[in-house]
Amino acid sequence: MPTAEGLRARLRTLERFDAHAVIRFLRLFGAALVVDVVTEVMAGVWHVHTGKLYPWRNLGIVPLYPASVLAIEWALRAAAGLMLVMGARHAKVLSAAVRIAAPGLFIAVLERYSNHGVLLFLIAFFLTLAPLDVTAPSFGERDQPALGLVRAQLAIVYVFSAANKLAHGFAGGHSLSNLFGSALPQGATQVLSVLVIATELALPLVLLRWPRVGLAGVVAMHVGFAALVPGVASFGLAMIAMAVLFAAPSPSRRSSLALPG
């Protein structure tokens, strides 16, 4: 079990990252981009742009473009995601992927605002701020402030999510009662609601001190969310991807990154 001194040492290296963890993060983020496109296709967004469905939007900044432009947007975002999944070890592929993804996600947010859309954009934007080369011999020994911003975003999401739930009475259990119906009594849904809020507040701290335990908690929570709530799989993948970044740097493993795969 890590000591207090070990935790202080960890805090001093918050912008140092394990190269293998970064590769897994990039691949999971790429998968989140692809799943986000698939989710929009299945949700009928295409019919909004063809006029078949009423084009209600949260933001009206960008005029609703035709379905042909939407097809290009989807293709570029999916391509960027696949590039991240398959080319996370290659600096040039990674650089091209995030530079394709970031503007596409920004336009998508203006067209079809969603909180998880903003999250995907912010991750992609942070990755454009500084080039990454996970195969560089000194990668794990140098500060990576862009990745530090990505990791901080996880804590921001969980803290604000918990605060929003508290402000809107989620702790009372009524939201989960509506979700589960009569399958669970009111008392059980109230306990689960409080547990969800407590978990969101605790996970950033657990990830800092016990990364593997924290990652298991993030995976369990978002797999549960995805099973119960339609359309949140992409958000869950993005959160799991960011949680992976909390793995402690392991310089001794860098040499294996030269291997194919």
**pLDDT, the chain, mean:** 87
d(CA 136, CA 255): 9
pLDDT for the residue numbered 218: 97
Distance CA 249, CA 117 (A): 29
Q: Does residue 1 have a pLDDT over 60?
A: no
Exposure letters 69-104 (e unless 16+ CB within 10 A, then b): ebeebbebbbbbbebbbebbbeeeebbbbbebbbeb
Q: What is the pLDDT of residues 32-64, one digit of tens each?
A: 999 999 999 999 999 988 888 877 666 666 788
| Residue of higher predicted confidence among 219 and 229 | 219
- Tell me the mean pLDDT in the region 231-257: 80
Q: What is the pTM of this model?
A: 0.89
pLDDT > 70? residue 212:
yes
Which has more pLDDT, 13 or 172?
Answer: 172
Q: Where are the domains of the chain?
A: 17-255
Q: What is the pLDDT of residue 111?
A: 86
Supply the pLDDT for residue 127: 96
**Which residue in 206, 215, 213 sits closest to 245, CA to CA?**
215
Give the pLDDT of residue 181: 76
Tens of pLDDT, residues 122-166:
999 999 998 899 988 888 888 899 999 999 999 999 999 999 999
